Amino acid sequence: MILLTGAGGVVGRAVTRLLLHEGRAVTVVSRGETRFPDTVRVAEGDLFSPYWLEATLDGVEAIQLSPRASGSGLGTLLQLARKQGVRRAVLLSATTVEHPAGEPRFATQFRAAEDLLKDSGLEWTILRLADFAANSLAWAPQIRAGDVVRGAYAEARTSPIHEADIAAVAVQALAGAHASLTLTLTGPQSLDQPEKVRIIGDVVDRPLSFHEIPAEQVRQGMLRQGLPEEVPARLLGSLADYAVRPGPTSSTVEALLGRPALTFADWACDNAAAFGG
């Protein structure tokens, strides 16, 4: 049995699909916002106080951890996991721990989660993740409505990673591979914002362009959409730094999976419908 926290997120959903495809038994921890296949066991509750989860951990071999889903309850969850016989844990961390970008408080939170895991007594693997290609879904409403994407920091360069690649490595680690390793996972190409938009345009067969606007204008727009302050602070802070110094690019995905990492164009093709393609 594999238990996933943060299963409703982009990576969590991809890992769930892959585990089910391999015939693995899956339990997800959810607050009830996401629907899962009938074959998935769902444990509903708040991980910030995870004592209610103790019985659910019986028979669990490995657990995938999302620090943002677990929050201040991560340490307690790890203690409960070890007590109930869980053997290993895989943590979804961030490349900003090693390659600082944006506000230091976010990297500090991930570093603290990594330290908790290393001290837990469980077998562990840490996946430091780069910019998700799926973050570009935030542009979908603009692309469906017109041919111009408006955003901040046009020159910001990242190496966006397809969530399917993250899931493939995570499933390896949940099965026992890559123990005691910290792995930096990125996509294979460093792209700026206009390049990403042009690639999406190629996929949907429309000439799309990127128009830079002030970061504060973007921040206010995100807040008006109801997003918590942390989201624009994390996103815009990182983009500001990546406009000066590109985010990291690694070949780790290819080395671990024995095939080339999926490109941003691959991701755009897989998600063309979201952009009206």
- The pLDDT tens digits for 170-225 are 999 999 999 999 999 999 999 999 999 999 999 999 999 999 999 999 999 889 88
CA of 96: how far to CAs of 122, 152, 249, 253, 274, in Å?
Answer: 24, 20, 13, 18, 28
Residue ranges of domains in the chain = 2-135+160-187+245-275
| pLDDT for residue 115 | 96
Q: Which residue numbers in the chain have pLDDT < 70?
A: 32, 69-71
| Fold assignment, 2-135+160-187+245-275 | Rossmann fold (3.40.50)
Q: For helices 215-224 and 230-242, give the axis angle rounded to 10 degrees.
A: 160
Determine the Cα–Cα distance for residues 143 and 145; give it in Å rounded to an integer: 5
Strand partners, 149: 210
Give me the count of residues in the chain.
277
**Given this model, what pLDDT does residue 70 score?**
67
pLDDT at res. 49 = 82
Which phi and psi angles does 77 have, rounded to 5°? -60, -40
Closest among 58, 52, 75, 74 to 3, alpha carbons compared = 58
Contacts of 47 (CB under 8 A, 6+ apart): 5, 29, 53, 69, 70, 71, 73, 74, 77
pLDDT given for residue 128 in this prediction: 97
Nearest to 137 by CA among 239, 273, 26: 273
Amino acid at 14: A
